[in-house]
Structure 1
Amino acid sequence: MKMIGLSVMLMLLAGCGQQQTGTMIDPQDAAKVARGQAVYAASCAACHGTRLEGQPDWRSRKPDGRMPAPPHDDSGHTWHHPDEILFGITKEGLVPGKYGPPGYVSDMPA
């Protein structure tokens, strides 16, 4: 199941910066999957984990009030969100009032 989650996340990341026409990225497109893997490794894995595991105790706020990075496997909540939201968060960051609660400050860079 973790490989499915990783594949989905990598496909989402592979599409960042491209115009979306409402279609999904073809999981059989090896070039896009490889691009997504590289983007995830460079920009996401440091916080979300190389195996999608997220940060320890990710459901509890840190002392600064921010939330740790959640896992992107089936134990997290990534799969609860529509693709459009995930693309937006990946491209723009957790914009308060748009993708996060008003006033929310995230450690996730835009």
Structure 2
Amino acid sequence: MDDRFRTSTWLAGLLIVLDEEPLIVFDRGFAGTGQGYRVTFGGISDNFQLHTLLASALVGDPAQGLLPGRAPNAAEVAAAGTGENLQPDGGIRGTWNRGGDAGGQWIWNEGTPAASTR
């Protein structure tokens, strides 16, 4: 494969990154609270990164309007955000399992937000 094709694949991945995108997130998961949140995200390349950062922002004390569950630890959040260590000890565990998209379709971690926000 010549270098132009490798570069174009890499560039295509960068071009689908959504930046400063408004999003409405509803908790429709197994213990669905029906709670909704308006968030804006940027620089997100895949759904696993999005799910990790959503869990970091929205999981916490329900008495404070947050969702029950396990929030990612600081190393996981740093790896999904702007941290230098992209592979923390123990890896990053999936913590966000809140149901599907607006049409009820499952949102796979391996997908991209660009493909999930139609």
* TM-score bracket for the superposition, by shorter chain length: under 0.3
Q: Higher helix share goes to which structure?
A: 1
Q: TM-score, length-normalised on structure 1? A: 0.27
Higher relative contact order (CA 8 A, sep 6+): 2
Say which one has the larger Rg: 2
Q: TM-score, length-normalised on structure 2? A: 0.26
Q: Higher strand share goes to which structure?
A: 2
